[in-house]
Amino acid sequence: MLRRSAYERLERWKAQPGRRALLIDGARQVGKTYLVRAFARAHYDTLVEINFVDQPEAKAIFEGSLNAATVIPLLSAFAGRPLEPGRTLVFLDEIQACPRARTAIKFLVDDGRFDYIESGSLLGVSYCEPPSLPVGYESVLRLYPLTFEEFCWALDVQPEVLDLARECFERQCVVPEPVHGRLMRLFAYYLAIGGMPAVVARFAETRDVARALEIQQDILALYRMDIARYARNKAHVRAIFDAIPAELDKQNKRFRLSDLAKSARTERYESDFIWLADAGVGLPCFNVSELVAPLRLNVKHSMFKLFLCDTGLLTAQLADGVQFKILQGQLDVNWGAVLENAFAQMLTANGFDALYYERSKHGEIDFVVQKGGKVIPIEAKSGRIFRAHASLDSVLRVREWGLELAYVFCRENVAVEVKLPDGRDDPATICLLYTSPSPRD
């Protein structure tokens, strides 16, 4: 069983008195159904699972009156067994295929006898809205591909190892070299394998990158089928999707529509970028004009990078043996694109907006996050020259921004620089941490 951080969120949901239904959404193949089944086995005596795509006949349950007195006997009849109050979970999978079932949730929650979890792809949930949304009766949990920590769990890394690394990060002290070296090697594998559950499970079982790649290619094919099936402007969306690797491989990684077609204009393609983001397939990373909180007020939507939802899918899309070259430490091969994609993926999964900064006056900062009221610049260094960070130094000197801390994720162990830039009264801290490891080192 793959351990997911979201499992604890499900446990907290179940512990709430008078709980709402829980809607779990996310991109295709991120493990929504797997997670719910594992949770149901541990916490319920009975699971009633309906998949509205595989079992379209189940839609008939919700064709008439949607009140609980009508729907619950039909659910019991469909399941072929009585539903025991307080011990039954009703799991409505692919909920987007039956919008009326989502409307019925408010009546079923009010009834209170059973627990309800809905699940659907972000694409379907966004584009197949029910006649009436169950506002106030539904909590939402967004599921993403596995983070690096979850990837380590899947490969049987002991919790104590990760706890030690986390403690060193928080205390800003050196990670013991055996732990540091092992995590570096695992991170290289994470860049190649990514976090799609089926891919990680195959790799954990076989340790065979080629067999994991087969599943990655299947998922990419599935995403392209979704584009052909759901996208309004299929040609535009497919062109954007296929262009992501090449755009990320450019020096500044900013997505330029002119690379798709000389006549391309933002207003003609805007809905197509939104489609990929709504589907959870693309992760837009927008430019901010100033490094002051709240960052969302400084976002410029006309300038952005576009990442894939999973770094393993990016390396699969790059092809040309990139995964094997990464594992062999060939850092000249698309390394910066893959590394930044992994950061965008993990920042998003941990609740941060994916944002970056770029101005000719100060240069480019790979990522900018806001934690509380503080803005923190982040650089992801793919090469060995990581102590030269002119852009970070430049933004730290901007007095009115008052930045106190910056992170440089690089190839080395934890180190801290404290400096007093020109024009500042208080010192700024730059913390150097490893992230772009190679098994050779």
Q: What residue segments make up the domains of the chain, in order of their start?
A: 6-143, 148-434
The mean pLDDT value for 402-407 works out to 90
**Helix 177-193 vs helix 311-318: crossing angle, to nearest 10:** 60
pLDDT digits 0-9 by tens, 137-170: 999 999 999 999 999 999 999 999 999 999 998 8
- Phi first, then psi, for residue 275 (nearest 5°) are -60, -45
Q: Check: CB of residue 185 under 8 Å from CB of residue 437.
A: yes
The reported pLDDT for the residue numbered 269 is: 76
Write the DSSP string, 192-255: HH-S-HHHHHHHHHH--HHHHHHHHHHHHHHHHHHHHHH-SSHHHHHHHHHHHHHHHTSSS---
Share of the chain above pLDDT 90, in %: 65
pLDDT tops 90 at residue 433: no
Is 3.40.50.300 the CATH number for 6-143? yes
The reported pLDDT for the residue numbered 435 is: 41
Task: Tell me which of 120-134, 216-230, 351-365, 424-438 is least confident.
Answer: 424-438
The mean pLDDT value for 274-280 works out to 88
Q: Check: CB of residue 101 under 8 Å from CB of residue 60.
A: no
Tell me the pLDDT of the chain averaged across its residues. 88
pLDDT tops 60 at residue 113: yes
- Sequence-ordered list of residues with C-beta below 8 angstroms from that of 223, at least 6 positions apart, any chain: 28, 241, 279, 281
Task: Tell me which of 68-82, 242-256, 288-302 is least confident.
Answer: 242-256
The reported pLDDT for the residue numbered 273 is: 87
For β-strands 415-419 and 46-51, DSSP reports them as unpaired
pTM of the model: 0.90
pLDDT digits 0-9 by tens, 289-342: 999 999 999 999 888 999 999 999 999 998 778 888 888 877 565 678 899 999
pLDDT tops 90 at residue 80: yes
Cβ neighbours, 10 Å, residue 167: 11
**What does the angle CA 33 – CA 351 – CA 277 come to, to the nearest 5 degrees?**
65
The mean pLDDT value for 229-234 works out to 85
The reported pLDDT for the residue numbered 312 is: 96
Residues in the chain: 441
pLDDT tops 80 at residue 283: yes
The CA distance from 323 to 242, in Å, is 18
Give, in order, the Cα–Cα distances in Å from 246 to each of 42, 203, 334, 383: 44, 27, 10, 20
- Phi first, then psi, for residue 49 (nearest 5°) are -110, 125
The mean pLDDT value for 399-420 works out to 85
The reported pLDDT for the residue numbered 115 is: 98
pLDDT tops 90 at residue 131: no
